[in-house]
Structure 1
Amino acid sequence: MASRNVMHHFLSQGHGENLCIREGSQPTHIDGNFSQIVWKDTQRAGFGRTIKDGGCRIYIVAYYTPCGNVTGHFTANVPPPLSGQIYVPTDAEKGW
């Protein structure tokens, strides 16, 4: 992906995938990937990252097996927050 400068999903049965790209210095909001990371049924996961264009472009790829984020299975696979409260850091706390 990074060598061709494109985001492209790998089509494969039985694997989940999250792709992320951040360009420039402006903040971006990326949601929806956390539940796959903590998905209880995930047996194997692999992660990769590369930085291009002097740090102005970052590619992050994650593959999971079996697929997660399955409709109707969220409650059984994503644990509740440990404190009982949902905490969302501010952009300043994230360093953006």
Structure 2
Amino acid sequence: MISAQKWAENLADAEKLYHSNYNDYGENLAFKMSVAPCQITGEEVSQTWYSEIDYHDFNQCYHPNSRHFTQMIWKSTTHAGFGLALSQDQTKAYVVGRYLPVGNRGDFGWNVPHYQGVKRSGKLYI
């Protein structure tokens, strides 16, 4: 398994955003582009992923437009790792989140707690 940091570096080197082939863990990706040096914070990324709560129906199970949100709050997650890398010209930032065990499979009712009124804001491409 490649670490989240190493996968972020691979994405930055290729200047492409795509998921890895590994199915042993959950994976969230984020991308931001700006003038060099591109700056991005963990808060910005997590708020973007969390903002998918707007698409999630807590009375249903999986919704494809809320998969980053559900993965990041998945109650059964025991390990998480994150990586950040910039493109060579430093105008593009690539962020990778990895989660064990894989989320978005199984008991959504137990693993995705109901909305508690947290502020949301999304500004990245995911």
Provide the TM-score with structure 1 as the length reference.
0.67
Q: Distance in 1 between matches of 2:80 and 2:113?
A: 18
Give the superposition deviation at 1:34: 2.3
One-letter amino acid matched to 1:75: G
| Distance in 2 separating the partners of 1:64 and 1:90 | 21
2:115 aligned with 1:81:
yes
Q: Tell me, which stretches of 5 or more residues in structure 1 are unaligned?
A: 92-96
Aligned residue pair count = 84
TM-score normalised by the chain length of structure 2: 0.53
1:37 partner SS: helix
More strand by share: 1
Separation (CA, whole Å) in 1 of partners of 2:121 and 2:81? 26
Match in the other structure for 1:40: 75
Structure with more helix by fraction: 2
Give unpaired runs (5+ residues) of structure 2: 1-10, 36-47, 53-65
Equivalent-residue separation in structure 2 for 1:81 and 1:64 (angstroms): 21
Counterpart among 12, 22, 30 of residue 22 in structure 2: 12
Which segments of structure 1 move beyond 6 Å, counting only runs of 4 or more? none
The Cα offsets for residues 16-62 of structure 1, whole Å up to 9 and x where unpaired, read as 1111212237xxx76332221110111111101123333x3110001
RMSD between aligned alpha carbons? 2.6
CA distance in structure 1 between the partners assigned to 2:119 and 2:29 by the alignment? 24
The structure with higher relative contact order (CA 8 Å, sep 6+) is: 2
Counterparts of residues 49-60 of structure 1 (less than 5 Å): 49-52=84-87, 53-54=89-90, 56-60=91-95
When Rg is computed on C-alpha atoms for both structures, the one with the higher figure is: 1
Aligned equivalent of 1:21, options 31, 37, 41:
31
What fraction of aligned residue pairs are identical, expressed as a percent?
32
